[in-house]
Every structure is written in structure tokens, then in C-alpha cells.
């Protein structure tokens, strides 16, 4: 959280409103509580301007803690995403994040993913 400005905001299209700094901290705490072995692999960090960059990442982890109100599934996830990060005075001021929610809930076993092959029936 030291990298975020005091008035930072985080936009996740799945949320009804942007998160403020307190909401950002709570969101990250929730992710790492649900996936304590979570790692983010940087695929690319592409500068767009002096103040904006696009960060492409892959998240990997195992769901061993409560997530989105549900019990742990014990399932592993691998999820790609992208964030547009705006920096002001050396600190993260604004982030807009995108990732495939359907892929996430499918990997956790809560929904089927139409992009994944359907198992053959006997």
C-alpha cells in the first residue's frame, strides 16, 4: 500500500463503484487471504505515457481461504489480466483493472466456462 497515493482509486468493472485507498487495501487483503500462495507474474509493463502504463499479468494461486463469501474450494487458479496504472508524483493514483471473471469462477468450480472444452459424455 506504500505505493498508492492517499487519494488513490481502483476501478474494477465488476464493482459497483471505484475503490478508495481503504477499499483497495481491503480488496488485496481479501485476495491474499483467499489465495495465500498467490503470485503475480508480469507478462509485460508497457508505458503509454510518462504517467500511464499497462501492466499485463498472470495470477496463480490455490483457493484455501474464504473467497467472495464462499468456502475454500482447494482449487488452483491461473488467470490473466491487465491494469492501466496512472502515476502521480511517484505514487499510484488510479488503476483500472480487467480480468476474466467467468474464467475465475469456472476454475473455482462455481460455473462452467464456454471457452473450455466440455467433457465428453459416455
CA distance to 1, 7, 14, 33, per residue, from 28 (Å):
9, 17, 15, 8
d(CA 19, CA 117): 35
Residue 51 belongs to some domain of the structure: yes
d(CA 62, CA 111): 17
* pLDDT on residue 116: 60
d(CA 64, CA 79): 16
Residue 39 belongs to some domain of the structure: yes
Residues of the domain holding 92: 4-107
Do 61 and 37 contact (CB within 8 A), yes or no? yes
- The CATH number of the domain where 85 resides is what? 3.10.450.50
Residue 113 belongs to some domain of the structure: no
Q: Is the pTM of this model over 0.85?
A: no
* pLDDT on residue 119: 54
What are the residue ranges in the chain where pLDDT is below 50? none
Amino acid at each position: 500500500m506504500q505505493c498508492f497515493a492517499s487519494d488513490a482509486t481502483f476501478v474494477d468493472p465488476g464493482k459497483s463503484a471505484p475503490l478508495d485507498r481503504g477499499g483497495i487495501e481491503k480488496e488485496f487483503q481479501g485476495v491474499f487471504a483467499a489465495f495465500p500462495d498467490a503470485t503475480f507474474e508480469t507478462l509485460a509493463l508497457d508505458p503509454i505515457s510518462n504517467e500511464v502504463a499497462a501492466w499485463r499479468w498472470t495470477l496463480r494461486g490455490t483457493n484455501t481461504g474464504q473467497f467472495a463469501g464462499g468456502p475454500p474450494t482447494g482449487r488452483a487458479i491461473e488467470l490473466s489480466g491487465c491494469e492501466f496504472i496512472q502515476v502521480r508524483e511517484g505514487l499510484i493514483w488510479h488503476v483500472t483493472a480487467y480480468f476474466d471473471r467467468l474464467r475465475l469462477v469456472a476454475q473455482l468450480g462455481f460455473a462452467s466456462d464456454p471457452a473450455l472444452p466440455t467433457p465428453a459424455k459416455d
